[in-house]
Amino acid sequence: MARKFFGTDGIRGRTNQGVMTAETAMHVGQAAGTHFLRGEHRHRVVIGKDTRLSGYMMESALVAGFTSVGMDVIMTGPLPTPAIALLTREMRADLGVMISASHNPFEDNGIKLFGPDGFKLSDDAEAAIETLLDQKPLLVDPHRIGRARRIDDARGRYIHAIKQSVASDIRFDGLKVVVDCANGAAYQVAPSVIWELGAEVIAIGVSPNGTNINDGVGSTALDAIKARVVEEQADIGIALDGDADRLIVVDEKGAVVDGDQIMALIATRMHERGSLTGGGVVATVMSNLGLERYLESLGLTLERTKVGDRYVLERMKEGGFNVGGEQSGHMILLDYGTTGDGSVAALRVLASLVRSGKPASELLHVFDPVPQLLKNVRYSGGKPLDHENVRSVIAESETELAGKGRLVIRPSGTEPVIRVMAEGDDAGQVERVVDRICDAVRDAV
């Protein structure tokens, strides 16, 4: 059945349009609340948000929805997505909600749901909530309406929890770290936790005004942090996205280090200590072939999934893996949390930097990536990948790359874009293949 509300990462869209209205948010609260009303205990939901202007509106609407079906609500204010997953489990809540559109501009917003175990909802649970959204809500009697309250110590709880991901003998004294919080959900917690562990912190992207989230800062706009790292002669730069579930690193020379290298570093250190489980790492089809070859050289595997951290997580749980992620910076370390956590991953990188005594440019160049090129083609409707000529060009390209590289073509799960990625040992060949397919898609649309 086609989904009307849920996409690859919860519900997301432009605010006050389509599925992302206050009315829809209230109905989501009613439907999700009804779905999780199980047992005779007093039911509870934890709601967090990033720093978008529309967060106030969406939060109020969700509170109305949940309380109307008998759920108590705990509001945390701005906190990273992984903090909400953590607090949902720690506070014995029945459900967790994060109001965020991650790395999208402020005009967008989204609703991410977590079950009582702190994990994102399964496809079956989302389908059940979708069904309830088409039904009249089961409103409770007046004396059973839920109560709502804000808690003031959520930030401290999360900081304390993620510090446990670093060994007690590790301090960051002597490190100068630039931290870019994208004017988003981690603008208070990320600089604080790194400072508490001893580093000198230069914080940017920590002045949210409701409309500047991800605007020229953060993990998807790296020019600001690259320049600041070089200017400050810092040891490393840490860039998070709007809800702080992803991490991109900048080394002391201002060079960008993506999620593949971060995964390789973390997995290598854990493998050396005997704490890596599952016999390898889980990543998506977008991860570089160089990462796969590197892991194979260590006797480890790279398990690939569809794009989306939820698919990475599903495979990790199935196969007993404790390290997974995406090239874009989602790092899932199941020993320390139930979802991607950019701050935890950053602490692991900083701890390795301290232990090794090496500069970031050396430490984080774990493998040589093969040439990889990704281009996007926007379209206005239809299914361009079903066009006969497009299929023919893709088949020819796959034959050309056979044994020498990989080709990944997929529609985006969040916007009307076809993503065309190719990689291989011959950079010129990779570029020709990508351009040829993009041209065919453009002709089709």
Could you list the active site residues?
102
Tokens of 445: 């649309």
CA dihedral 312, 313, 319, 325 (to 10 degrees): 50
Instruction: Report the C-alpha gap between 89 and 343 in whole angstroms.
Output: 19
Cβ-proximal residues to 248 (8 Å cutoff; 6+ apart), any chain: 219, 222, 239, 256, 257, 258, 259, 329
Q: What angle do CA 422, 426, 428 make, to 5 degrees?
A: 80
Q: Compute the distance between CA of residue 311 and CA of residue 353 in angstroms, rounded to an integer.
A: 30
Distance between CA 227 and CA 239 in Å, rounded?
13
**Alpha carbon distance 192, 190 (integer Å):** 5
Helices within 14-100 (DSSP H only): 22-35, 55-68, 81-90
Q: Determine the length of the chain.
A: 445
Two tokens at 115? Answer: 């079950």
Which amino acid is residue 111, in one-letter code? Answer: I
Q: 147 with 173: CB under 8 angstroms?
A: no
Q: What CA–CA distances, in Å, run from 366 to 254, 269, 378, 443?
A: 17, 11, 34, 40
β 372-378/417-424 pair status: antiparallel
Separation CA 31–CA 134 (nearest Å):
9
Write the DSSP string, 338-375. Answer: SS--HHHHHHHHHHHHHHH---HHHHT--S-PPPEEEE
d(CA 18, CA 68): 23
CA nearest neighbour of 95 among 139, 142, 128: 128
Q: How far is CA 232 from CA 145, 177, 236, in A?
A: 54, 9, 10
Residue 128 φ/ψ, nearest 5 degrees: -65, -40
Question: Residue 270: helix, strand or coil by DSSP?
Answer: helix
